[in-house]
Amino acid sequence: MAPPVSSQTAPSSGFPVRRLRRLRRTPALRRLVAEARIGVDDLIAPLFVREGIDAAAPIASMPGQYQHTVDSLLVEAKRLISLGVPGLILFGVPVVKDPTGSEAWNPDGIVQVALKTLRQAVGDELVLMADLCLDEYTDHGHCGVLGPDGTVLNDATLELYGRVALAQAVAGADVVAPSGMMDGQVTAIRSALDAQGHDQEAILAYAAKYASALYGPFRDAVDVTIAGGGDRRAYQQDPHNRREALMEIAQDVAEGADMIMVKPAMTSLDVLATVRRRVGVPLAAYHVSGEYAMVQAAAAAGWIDGPAVALEQLLAIKRAGADFILTYFAAEVAEALGG
């Protein structure tokens, strides 16, 4: 028996009855049927605050980004509010670094001072997130304390993460964001916060943070050099592996992470899409410094339309399943969207 004629085909002409281009004909039609959208509410701005400088310092490898003073940081935060950006995440650059990164939990450390200033000035108008790691604060550039053989000590580092989380929460952070990829970091941080009555502060876990070559400009921004030319491949996620990343994410969710993050974004779209199908907690993606710098460099050379490419990349991240995106393009995109 011959198969029935498809209702999608006009037998007389052989052309399809359904023409998908019909819904692409005008900008208004395309907007009407768009499956994924980028809005100002999807954006978080990563910002750097540096101790011991008198004016905001441009970051050469990240055009348009700065190491801020506390005062210039406050100006930028108010600009983000005016654009409708809902939050920012802070990274600190201290004057003093030591083997344990003790400035990370110093109540008078640069991030804590910045958080206090922001909280007093903007109240709850911005979600204040704080990156929780030790690499910016250690003299060896690793994300934890080192053993005699130079190996990062997982469990000894967890105790210090708890101190950092508490210092950030006391200073005014709404969200602490552990990025060191230590096993058990979410449990350690949640326990430290809850024990001191900070059960309302949320944890955004860098749950699948790949050991990527795309972090170079960021390390310029925070003045981090890993001692001896080393790397973080022994504790950050292996770029070869997707299933392992899913186990990392499942573990952080089981330990009580309120939100999870995948990083870098553009090279992890497969992970984002799979995670979105498997977990219910809010999912973030970090459009990292190298991804930003490549767009800026190509745009400066006249090879691409920088703003259009930036928006296209963020849309791809959103389409893959991210609920919100940490991106250095946050203010620029918010302006473009009419924030």
Q: Which residue has 């395309």 as its token pair?
A: 30
Nearest to 64 by CA among 293, 336, 311, 334: 293
CA distance 270 to 285: 12
User: Measured in whole angstroms, how far is the alpha carbon of residue 279 from the centre of its chain?
Assistant: 18
Residues in Cβ contact with 222 at an 8 Å cutoff, skipping those fewer than 6 apart? 48, 91, 92, 93, 135, 136
Q: Which residue has 């085909």 as its token pair?
A: 9
Residues in Cβ contact with 126 at an 8 Å cutoff, skipping those fewer than 6 apart? 77, 80, 81, 85, 86, 87, 88, 118
Nearest to 288 by CA among 218, 208, 232, 222: 218
SS (H, E, C) 20-80: HHHHHCCHHHHHHHCCCCCCHHHEEEEEEEECCCCCCEECCCCCCCEEECHHHHHHHHHHH
The catalytic residue among 78, 97, 209, 318 is: 209
97 part of the active site = no
263 part of the active site = yes
Nearest to 93 by CA among 141, 51, 47: 51
The catalytic residue among 97, 116, 263, 318 is: 263
Phi, psi for 268 (deg, rounded to 5):
-130, 25
187's tokens? 């449990």
Residues in Cβ contact with 338 at an 8 Å cutoff, skipping those fewer than 6 apart? none
Q: Which amino acid is at 113?
A: V
120's tokens? 């007093």
Residues annotated as part of the active site: 209, 263
